[in-house]
Amino acid sequence: MKVKLRGVRGSIPVPGPDTVKYGGNTTCIEVVTDEGDVIIIDGGSGIRTLGLELLKQHPVKCTLLITHTHWDHIQGLPFFVPFFVPGNQIDIYGTFDPIYMKSLKSILAAQMEYCYFPVRECELNAKISYNDIREGQAIQVGSATITPILLNHPVLNYGYRIESHGKVFFFTGDYEHPVNIYEPEDDGYDDYQQLIEEQKGVLSDFIRGADLVVADSQYTVEEYKTKKGWGHGTHESSIELARDAEIKKMVFTHHEPVRTDKQLDEIYERLMRRSDLPDSELLMAVEGTEFIL
């Protein structure tokens, strides 16, 4: 199984001289099984160049997993050229929105209305299927078993576990580790902390021993103090997850859009100087990086 990072930036694309090393495109991950089945996670701006490459093997058949429908995870979809070509088949999976009572199809189609984009979803020529799936509902794509788990974010967000031939890859999507809403001296602190530990345990057990995990690590610990509730993790929370779940390789992604290459280098160097690091290999996500599992 091959995993390629097509977009590693959070919130908004940030092209320019200060983001050349790590990349400026928003979230998109390409997974290709040993049999050649193509699985794409999220449609941030990184999906545009992937679509152009896929056209070389027309007709295109692929599976697209949407972690959630915030703008930076779907904004590249109108520029995914395989949608426009007859004979292509794209199967899209994600979650129904129970707050706004909207299906995955209606949410994705909205950004292609004429007031936003010159081509409507109903005018696309590929064969496209939309599938609203539930937590824990496994999807089989060739040799790959894909299982979603709900993770903490201000909208319903799926993390996806992909297993093929005994190898496991997991992507968190946007994920803020749960934190205690009480102060240590408050009556409800201990009970709430127990609930948090149970939630963390569920995720750790779900991905235990995974070969590769790509995790939302947008903030530093200092930044997180004023970003609680925004739905994103820290490098330290991802390190904690790597330790608890005995992950082989942990990759920090969803880089803060204002972060320069130099700043990411400095953060990584500081993290690597810690004396309490787990046995996991820890890496900063770099656009274009390929992992062979």
CATH class of 2-284: alpha beta
Residue 128 pLDDT > 90: yes
CB contact at 8 A, 155 and 70: yes
| Structure-token pair, residue 213 | 């995990």
Ramachandran region of residue 154, left (φ > 0), alpha (ψ -120 to 50) or beta? alpha
pLDDT of residue 263: 98
Q: What are phi and psi of 9, to 5 degrees?
A: -95, 150
More confident site: 187 or 3: 3
Please give the average per-residue pLDDT across 259-266, as a whole number.
98
**pLDDT tens per residue, range 6-39:** 999 999 999 999 999 999 999 999 999 999 999 9
Which pTM value belongs to this model?
Answer: 0.96
What residues have CB less than 8 Å from 183, skipping those under 6 apart? 189
- The 10s digit of each residue's pLDDT in 204-223 is 999 999 999 999 999 999 99
* Interval 222-236: pLDDT, tens: 999 999 999 999 999
User: Domain locations in the chain?
Assistant: 2-284
Confidence of residue 65 (pLDDT cuts 50, 70, 90): very high
**Crossing angle of helices 189-207/235-245, nearest 10°?**
70
pLDDT at site 58: 86
| pLDDT beyond 90 at 253 | yes
Mean pLDDT for the stretch of residues 49-75: 96
Residue 275 φ then ψ, to 5°: -90, -5
Report the C-alpha gap between 187 and 182 in whole angstroms.
8
Place of tokens 């001296």: 185
Confidence check: pLDDT of 262 > 90: yes
The predicted model gives 48-69 an average pLDDT of: 96
Least confident of 70-74, 124-128, 189-193, 220-224: 189-193
Range among 10-14, 184-188, 189-193 with highest mean pLDDT value: 10-14
Give 25's DSSP letter.
P
Q: What are phi and psi of 239, to 5 degrees?
A: -65, -40
Is 101 buried (19+), middle (13-18) or exposed (0-12) by CB count in 10 A? exposed
> Tens digits of per-residue pLDDT, 137-168?
999 999 999 999 999 999 999 999 999 999 99
pLDDT surpassing 90 at residue 265: yes
CA angle 145, 10, 7 (to 5 degrees): 55
